[in-house]
Amino acid sequence: MGESGFPTIRDLGLIGDRRTAALITTTGAIVWYCPGRFDYPALLAALLDPDHGGGWTVQMPNAASAGRRYLEDSGILETTLATPAGELVITDWMPMGEGTPQGICRQFSSAPTDIAITLAPAPDYARRSPQLRPQGQGIQIDERHYLYASHPLTVSGAKIAFTLPQGETGWCILADAPLSDITDIQLKGWLQTTLECWREIAAHATYHGPYEREVAESIRALRLLTFEDNGGIIAAPTTSLPEVIGGQRNYDYRYVWLRDAGMIVSALTRAGSDGTDERRFLDFICGYDRDSDHQPLKPFSNLDGNSPSSEECLNLVGYRHSAPVMIGNVAKDQLQLDAYGNVLLAAKLIYKHFETREHWSLVAEIADFLSDRWHEPDYGIWEEQEKHQYTSSKVVAACGLKFIADVAENADQARRWRAAEQAIREFVAQHCLTSEGAYAVAAGEEDIDVTAALFPVWAYTAADSPEMVKTMQVLERDYATGHLYRRHLKTFDSQREGAFLAGTLWVAQYWIMRREFQRAKAIIDAALEFSNDLGLFAEEADAKTGAMLGNFPQTFVHAAFIGAAIDLKAALGKNTAVA
């Protein structure tokens, strides 16, 4: 555990059923869980308030973490705890498949000593005290959740507990509906059914090449954060894990962003996917509700495809006392041109790879929208509070228009979109270069941003163009700490936050294009230092302390890592292995 009872982000593991997820520490404590759906209210939120947020602990004298692993390519997690008396293995999973309950199952191997397992529910982000009463073999929580166990349960105040005696095996289940007559055989059957479901999901994509294990772990993370009902992929399963410890940059990431679409679809498509997950993701984002300002789509949505709620502050102390703790997200009403460009990039990848033209009417509408509105200031990729003529927004819009024009239905469409692309290029050339000749963060500015590393990846410019060479020189000079890179923010001093891991991996992609493979590998390896033992990335990295920062795990970073590894594989050749 970290400071004052807070787990370190690096110690968190993830389980899920592709509807919601839970975070588990290396000592078997469940510290975050939103029953039913990723963005529903938390029942367990000790991650954000150890004293009041609610958690599910395993207490064993003198226990220490002795490793953990996922079973095969599944979301089933085994955690081993060691004591002088022997080891305990905890198997945690969320059941999936026909005939299984919804909730969390926990199995315990033979106990080396007496073990106390305690559930302290805190409904609705701890805004309500739980109502606990016996029902059948278990304890009912707020008439919504039901706890069952292999050994007698006791209630003390707002906590439910049982003791697993030395030498005995055991289990407990927190279910969303009442169960009866649970047996060990039934539990084993649910585990097997869940494992079979994960095997079927894992069969949709296979990757062989550089960083093979790490890529597989990142693909698992994307799968765990996919909403089974409609294919939406959330940015992260958490809210308010801070970008700056003790600061106020704490956001709710339990939504689906348009901007993520291009990178996630690219990662899955190029990682040997059969198209199932990425095409469902495109289906989802193209089913968003329209917005009132006549934009084709909102920049992000909840898992219903609707606009997220407005921001609300919770009465929790926040991770390591970083307040406020927020739910909802005000950026939902912003104009984000890059988000639309990324949808076009995602559509083009799918059209080309799978020879389809799904959602063409909306894709064409987005292209028309960008053709009409590209010249407007927007809030940029980092969703800042000020509108500017952000260079990255212009560039990704131009790239999206160029690529989608190649599959236009008629010559008029193609001419219109290519004309807009050319106009954007002229604007960028005239207004978006610094006095040193680097790509500026925004028109008329002297600062740059790590996003520019993607410009050649998107095929906007050559990697060795004078503008890119100068941009990378400035990036190394002003934004690098070792092999880690930070972004530029206009409304916040980004030197106060950690290195931005997705951006760091974009820099690796740039050097792969320059065929400087050892340099690229050094950057990738530096980023991997900030994935944990399960291969999970947070949003940012504190290069000084080694701490992981921001919401966790972050799909944007996992997609960036997959992209870098696949680019390396392609550049080295199919049969070249890299340790």
Q: How do residues 340-366 score in pLDDT, each as one tens digit? A: 999 999 999 899 888 888 899 999 999
By CB atoms closer than 10 A (0-12, 13-18, 19+), residue 446 is exposed
Q: pLDDT tens digit string along 165-211?
A: 999 999 999 999 999 999 999 999 999 999 999 999 999 888 999 99
What is the structure's pLDDT at 578?
42
**Cα–Cα dist 263/22, whole Å:** 25
CB proximity list for 295: less than 8 A, separation 6 or greater: 335, 369
**Cα–Cα dist 344/470, whole Å:** 28
Long-range interactions of 409-415: CB distance < 8 A, separation 24+: 409/360, 409/364, 413/364, 413/367
* Of the candidate ranges 278-292, 350-364, 442-456, the one whose mean pLDDT is the lowest: 278-292
Q: Work out the mean pLDDT of the chain and round it to a whole number.
A: 94
Average pLDDT over residues 552-562: 97
Q: What tokens appear for 419 in the block?
A: 């004309």
For the CA atoms of 266, 272, 275, 276, the dihedral, rounded to the nearest 10 degrees, stands at -110
Which amino acid is located at 242 in the chain? P
Q: Looking at residue 153, what DSSP letter applies? A: -
Strand pairing partners for 261?
Answer: none
Read off the pLDDT band of 4 (50, 70, 90).
low
**Cα–Cα dist 89/93, whole Å:** 13
Residue 577 has pLDDT above 80, yes or no: no
Average pLDDT over residues 87-91: 98
Helix residue spans in 102-170 (DSSP H): 123-126
Q: Which residues of 487-525 are buried (b: 16+ CB within 10 A; e: fewer)?
A: bbbbebebeebbbbbbbbbbbbbbbbbbeebebbbebbe
Strand pairing partners for 16?
Answer: 21
SS3 449: coil
Residue 292 has pLDDT above 60, yes or no: no
Pairing of strands 300-301, 256-257: antiparallel
Residue 108 has pLDDT above 90, yes or no: yes
Closest CA to 121 of 153, 94, 95, 99: 153
Would you give the distance in Å from CA 164 to the centre of its chain? Answer: 35
Q: pLDDT tens digit string along 147-171?
A: 999 999 999 999 999 999 999 999 9
Which amino acid is located at 521 in the chain? K
Closest CA to 218 of 230, 200, 205, 229: 205
CATH for the stretch 3-201: 2.70.98.50
What is the structure's pLDDT at 251?
93
**Cα–Cα dist 234/456, whole Å:** 27
Q: What tokens appear for 446 in the block?
A: 């002297």
Structure-model confidence comparison of residues 94 and 573, the more confident one: 94
Would you give the distance in Å from CA 129 to the centre of its chain? Answer: 30
**Cα–Cα dist 417/402, whole Å:** 7
Strand pairing partners for 541?
Answer: 499, 548
Which amino acid is located at 225 in the chain? L
Average pLDDT over residues 288-304: 77
Count, residues in the chain: 579
Helix residue spans in 139-183 (DSSP H): none
Give the domain ranges of the chain: 3-201, 204-572
In the chain the first and final C-alpha atoms are separated, in Å, by 32
Read off the pLDDT band of 490 (50, 70, 90).
confident
CATH topology of domain 204-572: Glycosyltransferase (1.50.10)
At CA 572, angle to CA 567 and CA 573, rounded to 5?
Answer: 100
| Contact (Cβ atoms closer than 8 angstroms) between residue 378 and residue 303 | no
Residue 258 has pLDDT above 90, yes or no: no
What is the structure's pLDDT at 262?
80
What is the structure's pLDDT at 300?
87
Read off the pLDDT band of 285 (50, 70, 90).
confident
Residue 290 has pLDDT above 70, yes or no: no
At CA 558, angle to CA 210 and CA 403, rounded to 5?
Answer: 90
Cα dist from 514 to 293, 452, 517, 574, whole Å: 42, 15, 8, 18
**Cα–Cα dist 511/519, whole Å:** 7
Read off the pLDDT band of 291 (50, 70, 90).
low
Residue 116 has pLDDT above 80, yes or no: yes
Residue 282 has pLDDT above 70, yes or no: yes
**Cα–Cα dist 417/413, whole Å:** 6
Residue 579 has pLDDT above 70, yes or no: no
Residue 522 has pLDDT above 80, yes or no: yes
